[in-house]
């Protein structure tokens, strides 16, 4: 009798590597990377030579509002992308062929065009007819792009729920909307949340692209400082360290979320 093959799940994405205690190598690498990044930041900011430390402190103050803008773009975009993704996921599962076709086409087209091209197209090409502020164009482009990825996340999460759950809800008198809201989504959300967290991290890193539209995010502020001071090494070193620390913190939060969801499922 042939041995049953073990199913292997391969997670590859643009987000961060999520540290898990079950993967000792990755967990140790996360710890090492985090403490090195934080240690490097503190060393630069409080270097024994005042000339060096003052320079890095000056750069950090200059970058501060860029960090705020980066999070504003990220949070706004991910919130809109989740809404788009939810309806796209439902569309991908719809038995009405035209709705399914529209949702599927949206996913294929958007995922087939690089985000940078989408940013240029929305801001410059569409901008010939409808002029929109830099921030609005950036958030719209990020939301539309990541909405397609979120659509597949929602589709997979909802599709993973056993059909018997829907049949049981219908037998209790629930209509389609009630079944989705009270039965399917609460169960699917545990599957959906971890990849949504990973997409959030990927989106935050991709916000560096919005600097080309003039949005004063972290990278844009770094470019502005470097172009006037010519301190390219110091500026981009600090920008890289800040991005790394933020990404590592978020990846750890996603890991904790996955652990809590796993413990909940075992109960």
Instruction: Write the pLDDT tens digit of every residue in 235-263.
Output: 999 999 999 999 999 988 888 887 776 65
- Residue 254 has a pLDDT of 83
The answer to whether residues 208 and 218 touch, using CB atoms and an 8 Å cutoff, is: yes
- Higher-pLDDT residue of 46, 7: 46
Listed in sequence order, the DSSP H helices in the chain are: 24-45, 50-93, 97-111, 115-120, 134-159, 163-171, 176-179, 185-206, 218-229, 232-266
More confident residue, 190 or 107: 107
Distance (Å, whole) CA 82 – CA 251: 19
Query: What domains does the chain contain, in order, with CATH numbers?
Result: 24-266 (1.10.3720.10)
pLDDT digits (tens, 9 = 90+) for 140-170: 999 999 999 999 999 988 888 877 777 787 7
Q: Between 258 and 20, where is the model more confident?
A: 258
Mean pLDDT of 214-231: 92
**What's residue 19's pLDDT?**
65
Q: What is the pLDDT of residue 222?
A: 95
Residue 224 token pair: 């502005």
User: Do the beta carbons of residue 82 and residue 150 sit within 8 Å?
Assistant: yes
- As given in the structure block, the two tokens for residue 209 are 């692209």
What is this structure's pTM?
0.85
> Nearest Cα to 152, choosing from 185, 203, 108?
108
pLDDT of residue 238: 96
> How many whole angstroms separate alpha carbon 125 and alpha carbon 118?
10
CB 157 within 8 A of CB 187: no
- For residue range 163-208, what is the model confidence (pLDDT) as tens digits? 777 778 777 777 777 777 777 888 888 888 888 888 999 999 999 9
pLDDT at 178: 76
- Is 103 in contact with 165 (CB distance < 8 Å)? no
């Amino acid at each position: 009798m042939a041995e049953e093959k073990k199913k292997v799940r391969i997670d590859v994405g643009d987000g961060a590597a999520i540290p898990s205690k079950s993967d000792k190598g990755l967990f140790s690498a996360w710890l090492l990377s985090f403490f090195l990044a934080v240690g490097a930041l503190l060393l630069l900011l409080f270097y024994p030579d005042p000339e060096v430390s003052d320079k890095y402190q000056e750069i950090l103050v200059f970058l501060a509002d860029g960090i705020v803008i980066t999070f504003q773009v990220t949070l706004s975009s991910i919130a809109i992308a989740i809404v788009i993704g939810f309806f796209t996921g439902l569309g991908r599962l719809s038995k009405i062929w035209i709705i399914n076709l529209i949702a599927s086409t949206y996913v294929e087209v958007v995922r087939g065009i690089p985000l940078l091209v989408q940013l240029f197209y929305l801001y410059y090409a569409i901008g010939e007819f409808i002029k929109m502020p830099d921030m609005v164009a950036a958030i719209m482009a990020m939301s539309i792009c990541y909405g397609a990825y979120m659509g597949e996340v929602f589709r997979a999460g909802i599709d993973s729920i056993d059909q018997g759950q829907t049949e049981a809800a219908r037998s209790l008198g629930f209509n389609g909307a009630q079944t989705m809201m009270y039965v399917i989504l609460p169960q699917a959300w545990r599957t959906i949340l971890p990849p949504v967290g990973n997409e959030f991290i990927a989106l935050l890193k991709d916000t560096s692209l919005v600097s080309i539209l003039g949005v004063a995010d972290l990278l844009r502020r770094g470019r502005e400082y470097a172009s006037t001071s010519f301190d390219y090494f110091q500026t981009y070193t600090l920008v890289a360290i800040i991005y790394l620390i933020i990404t590592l913190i978020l990846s750890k939060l996603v890991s904790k979320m996955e652990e809590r969801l796993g413990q909940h499922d075992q109960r």
